Structures are given as structure tokens and as C-alpha cells.
Amino acid sequence: MTTSSSSAAEKKFSLSMLITVITIVIIAILTFVIIFFSRNPNNEYILKTLDLNGSIEKGDSLFKMNCVGCHGITARGLVGPDLHTVTSRLNDSEIINQVIEGLTPPMPSFEIEPQNMSDLLSYLHTLN
């Protein structure tokens, strides 16, 4: 009788372990899918922004209203980094993601219209 209760306990443990492993695998797959699709640089906002022609002058104004507190009036950096090489370090999609997602603390995320983002990108390209 001890053998069959031991065997039943082993089967119960094995089933429990299998369910745990399957749950972990499902959670890992879902996490990967969520991260992959949330970081997709081809989303509608980025595509719309990249289709627009930005104004350097409007981008300069936007920068002065929103960015100088961290990046300085000349974009040489304060709390935030120097932006004079940002367009050579990051492509436009990555820059847009950085601005709208605030990917590197303490940078906040910004809700910015595609045209304004296009203007800001045009300005950032002049800093090289």
C-alpha cells in the first residue's frame, strides 16, 4: 500500500511540476510578444511622423519650450545628455521612441503631435 500511495504522490508532484513549467513558458512567451510589439518602430505614429516635413524653426521653439531644462539652451546637456550627436547615434525612429516613451530615466515621456515631433527631429538634425 505504501508503494501505491508513494506512486500516486509522485504522479501528483509530476503533474504539478508540469503545470508550473507550462505556466512559466506561457508567461515568458506572452512577455516576449508584448515587448516585441510595444517596441515595434513601425507603428503608425512613427510612420506618420517620418512622412512629414519638419520645420527647423518650429523645432527650435519646441526645444526651447520643452527640452532646455534638462538638455540646456545649447543642447550641450545638463541633467540630460548632450544632443549634438544624437542623430548620428540613434536613427529617427529611435529618437521618436525616446521622446514619446521616455526610455532612459529621468527623461519623461511626451505626448507630442506628429508634426511637432517632425519639427523637433528637423531641429535635432541641425545639431550635428
pLDDT 10s digits, 16-73: 888 988 999 999 888 777 776 665 556 899 999 999 999 999 999 999 999 999 999 9
Q: Which pLDDT score is estimated for 15?
A: 85
What's the CATH code, domain 44-125?
A: 1.10.760.10
Q: CA-CA distance, 121 to 60, in Å (whole number)?
A: 10
Q: Mean pLDDT across the stretch 90-107?
A: 93
Domain boundaries, the chain: 1-38, 44-125
Residue 64, CA atoms < 13 Å, CB-side half-sphere? 6
CB of 114 closer than 8 Å to CB of 45: yes
For residue 124, give the nearest of 83, 91, 65, 96 by alpha carbon. Answer: 83
In angstroms, the CA 58 to CA 53 distance is 11
Neighbours of 67 (CB within 10 A): 20
pTM (predicted TM-score): 0.67
What does DSSP assign to residue 107? P
